[in-house]
Amino acid sequence: MIETRVAVVLGGSGGIGRAVAERLAGDGMSVMVHYAGNAARADEVVKAITSAGGSAAAARADIADPAQVEQLFTETEQQFGGVDVVVNTAGIMLLSPLTELSLDDFDTMHRTNVRGTFVVSQQAAQRLRRGGALINFSSTVVKLALENYTAYAATKGAVDAMTLILAKELRGRDVTVNAVAPGPTATPLFLDGKPQAVVDHLTAMSPLERLGRPEDIAETVAFLAGPARWVNGQIIYTNGGII
């Protein structure tokens, strides 16, 4: 009997996270859809998956709170029998020149993007079954070095470092650890507050002359979550050729 694989998708209630949850469910995995505050959106994702014949549930947690993240993983194990794939798409982006960004905004991003990734990675390292995969989320902006992205890029640089080192620390576990680094992708997180001229400029940067779509990113995640057992300790730039 082939055991159904189980995925936890952090930030799975919208944007890239929703596309990832639905893609992994379509690949036959049971999916725990994590959300931070919007239960209705998470329920919509669960309904979409189950209506298509998949298996899913939703659970809330503050990803920077170790006790809540531990409970999230416990609920997943109790409901689905284990954890095989962890995808941490949860993140926030606050843009400003370095000299104008408030330390409160910096700390807010750091708490979610860095501490949250650290806390989720700790639980994933303890809970993932053999043959499992942890997939963190970085950003192409770390290499692009765009103005106004200083603090956000710094948080994602920290994600890169954690990902590369944890892959080595899990030696002997048969668990892969990678990060996906999207380029400009048409999600509310990316589009919010940007003038159309900026969006047009970022669109034109890709040789494919379009923004990424959540489904493009989900395809890369599905590769890392399933067949890519020899890809480990890598940052996968999924950006249409911007860099």
Q: How many CB atoms lie within 10 A of CB 52?
A: 11
Cα distance between residue 128 and residue 86, in whole Å: 8
Contact call for residues 66 and 74 (beta carbons, < 8 A): no
Cα distance between residue 13 and residue 57, in whole Å: 11
| Residues with catalytic function | 152
DSSP-assigned states of every residue in 125-173? HHHPPTT-EEEEE--THHHH--TT-HHHHHHHHHHHHHHHHHHHHTTTS
